[in-house]
Amino acid sequence: MPQPEISIFPILGLPEIVPGCQLSSVLAEAVRRSDLVLKDFDILVIAHKVISKAEGRIVQLNDVEPSKVATIWAEKSGKDARLVELSLREASRIVRMERGVLITETRHGFVCANSGVDTSNVAPGCAVLLPEDPDRSAEELRKSLNEEFKVRLGVVVSDTFGRPWRGGIVNVAIGVAGFDPLTDYRGFPDSFGKKMRASVVASADELAGAAEMVMGKTRAVPAVIIRGFSWPTGLSGTGKKLLRPATEDLFR
């Protein structure tokens, strides 16, 4: 059986996104300028900051009044108290707060550093927050672009997370629309005929990680098209499906 070929195409020329812009229209124009012809089962992977900016999830740091907790911890850790305050506001739970590292569980259910609050690729004096609902944002983009290009697309909203037992950071899917983010191999035979019992692959995370190889952090390419990934028709899901339930988490 031939191996699938995966291709990744950058969407070039996206302008700086501002609050209130019609992101689907801006993306459609950039796709056309990039001479891309979208096909059924293509996957759009887009950095969450593009969506956050369009949705107005940008905060002026001078407007943030740090709490006493944020101020005390910022002084101890050498952090900006305003960023600490935003991280606490965006959190539903503090996982770790020591050695200058703040790990939280966001209101979405993501366990990450600083609740996803970031100051890179945003104007000086500002911070960008995660989208309110990355799955909803992904679905809205999917519907608009499907109608615009008359194709069946999947959408992944990506962000960069650290990993507790591995060095370095990787891009993962925080929002998904149009396809199942998990590929379940359980019950299928391996190359020796043995049935697999525990192999459920986070395909949406793999797509986000692959996309980062083209997007990079300094190339001004916040969106790509991935072609060659196939998913079963009739199955769909959201990024929430990638979250491990608390009852199955051995490390809480």
pLDDT band of residue 1 (cuts 50, 70, 90) is: very low
- For residues 47 and 216, the model is more confident at 47
The DSSP element (H or E) to which 45 belongs, if any, is: strand 43-47
Provide the whole-model pTM: 0.93
Mean per-residue pLDDT, 42-49:
97
Residue 213: pLDDT band (50, 70, 90) is very high
Euclidean distance between CA atoms 176 and 240, whole angstroms: 8
CATH number of 7-54+131-242: 3.30.1330.100
Q: Give the mean pLDDT of 198-219.
A: 92
Structure token digits, residue 135 = 């799955």
Q: Where are the domains of the chain?
A: 7-54+131-242, 59-127
Higher pLDDT, 250 or 15: 15
* pLDDT confidence of residue 183: 87
Percentage of the chain beyond pLDDT 90 is 78
140 has a pLDDT exceeding 90: yes
| CATH class of domain segment(s) 59-127 | alpha beta
Distance CA 212, CA 48 (A): 12
Alpha-carbon distance of 221 to 217, in angstroms, equals: 8
Average pLDDT over residues 174-183: 95
